[in-house]
Amino acid sequence: DADVTQTPRNRITKTGKRIMLECSQTKGHDRMYWYRQDPGLGLRLIYYSFDVKDINKGEISDGYSVSRQAQAKFSLSLESAIPNQTALYFCATSEAATGVGRYGYTFGSGTRLTVV
Amino acid sequence: SQQGEEDPQALSIQEGENATMNCSYKTSINNLQWYRQNSGRGLVHLILIRSNEREKHSGRLRVTLDTSKKSSSLLITASRAADTASYFCATDGGNFGNEKLTFGTGTRL
């Protein structure tokens, strides 16, 4: 199994629908992140969590919410999806005590979301 | 806003040639990292260089860091078809203990 698993891999949803993207990890990392990737814009941070009780907004959190259900699980929700939220979404994890440590972030394979 | 900016945006070379891509950033850092992304897939961590290091090697990869110029370069020697991917630099904003990586827009090789 992959270290960081994202579900679903692909999703098409209609405008106005609520949708949840899920992320689970087996790395034992405390820190988890949600990024979105748009062509030409690189990756932008949506939300991050440094432990189960810690949730923080990133640079583009409007229209999104998250839930850290356990150390291993971090879900991203779009409360009312809109077409400009069509993007590739990535979950990532990292070690805590030394920040990104020696190994950087571990990324999931991504969820390709299309809002029509 | 993006902390890192890669240059060039796209690079086309022949197998066996060296590929060099550059990254510039704006604020102080504790470390800078390079990642590879195969088409539409998740990013894979390649190498991390700390702010007190000037050069680092890993296999066919060579990374340099110039903190005075706020820039880094990634050199891939003797490139292969399998190196075809997008490459991103990422910086941590220099806030030790509260690091969140900020990614550039990438170089497509």
Share of chain A above pLDDT 90, in %: 79
Residues of chain B found within 8 Å of residue A95, distances taken between Cβ atoms: none
User: Are B33 and A4 in contact (CB < 8 Å)?
Assistant: no
Residue with tokens 């990104």: A100
CA geometry: angle B42, A73, B95, nearest 5 deg: 70
Give the Cα separation of B33 and B67 in Å (integer): 14
Tens of pLDDT, residues B87-105: 999 988 766 666 788 898 8
Tens of pLDDT, residues A16-73: 999 999 999 999 998 999 999 998 778 999 999 999 999 999 999 999 999 999 999 9
pLDDT number for residue B97: 62
Give the Cα separation of B89 and A88 in Å (integer): 18
DSSP line for chain A: --SEEEE-SEEEE-TT--EEEEEEESS--SEEEEEEEETTTEEEEEEEEEETTEEEE-TT-TTEEEEEEETTEEEEEESS--GGG-EEEEEEEE-STTTTTTT--EE---EEEEE-
Residue with tokens 């209609």: A14
Tens of pLDDT, residues B35-68: 999 987 899 999 999 889 999 999 999 999 999 9
Residues of chain A found within 8 Å of residue B92, distances taken between Cβ atoms: 99-100
Residues of chain B found within 8 Å of residue A106, distances taken between Cβ atoms: 45
pLDDT number for residue B1: 44
Query: Chain B: nearest CA to A37, how far in angstroms?
Result: 9
Closest chain B CA to residue A41: B105
Q: How high does pLDDT run on average in chain A?
A: 91
